[in-house]
């Protein structure tokens, strides 16, 4: 079944020059790009996006990191998209990420972990709608 997920290439990976390689890995894995934009989040936007983590001890560091530089946000379409994309990017903590995954290749730390992937179909829809309107999708 083809469905959708949402991703962000995070500020560390953009700043370290990995944007092109990461997009290449995503396309090579068979995902189609439905929408994509390059932007820098405001503090209010980052807090809203990660509101589900607002009570976690890492929330402040996460928000500060995510507003520290530009990101690339995208909606991706592919077979079993949420699960297959999470397999492509690897474990949240790059120290635990499998060989060949995007986080293993490009991430720096658990906050600077190169890339985000939605954890459910429901969150993929919420997160995609957070960044993109209907006329920005192809």
**What are the catalytic residues?**
116
> Looking at beta carbons only, is 1 or 75 nearer to ligand CMP?
75
Window 48-67: contact mask with ligand CMP (x via CB under 6 A): -----x----x---x-----
Cβ-contact 40, 76 below 8 angstroms? no
| Contact range with ligand CMP by CB under 6 A, out of 71-79, 97-105, 107-115, 128-136 | 107-115
Strands annotated E in 2-132: 2-9, 32-39, 71-79, 115-117
> Looking at beta carbons only, is 1 or 39 nearer to ligand CMP?
39
| Contact range with ligand CMP by CB under 6 A, out of 27-35, 37-45, 109-117, 122-130 | 109-117
Shortest distance, CB of residue 48 to ligand CMP, whole angstroms? 14
| Contact range with ligand CMP by CB under 6 A, out of 13-21, 37-45, 68-76, 106-114 | 106-114
**Interface with ligand CMP (CB under 6 A), residue from 97, 106, 113, 114:** 113
- Give the integer Cα–Cα distance in Å for 26 and 89: 9
Sheet strand arrangement including 115-117 = 32-39, 71-79, 2-9, 115-117
Distances (CA, A) of 125 to 18, 47, 55, 65, 110: 26, 18, 23, 24, 24
- Give the integer Cα–Cα distance in Å for 76 and 97: 21
Interface with ligand CMP (CB under 6 A): 53, 58, 62, 92, 110-111, 113, 116
């Amino acid at each position: 079944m083809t469905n959708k997920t949402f991703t962000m290439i995070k500020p560390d990976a953009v700043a370290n020059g990995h944007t092109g390689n990461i997009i290449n890995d995503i396309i090579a894995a068979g995902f189609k790009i439905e929408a994509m934009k390059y932007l820098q989040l405001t503090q209010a936007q980052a807090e809203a996006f990660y509101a589900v983590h607002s009570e976690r001890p890492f929330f402040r560091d996460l928000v500060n990191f995510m507003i520290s530089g530009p990101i690339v946000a995208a909606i991706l379409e592919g077979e079993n998209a949420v699960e297959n994309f999470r397999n492509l990017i690897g474990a949240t903590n790059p120290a635990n990420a499998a060989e060949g995954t995007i986080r293993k290749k490009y991430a720096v730390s658990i906050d600077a972990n190169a890339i985000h992937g939605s954890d459910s179909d429901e969150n993929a829809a919420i997160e995609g709608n957070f960044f993109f309107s209907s006329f920005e999708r192809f």
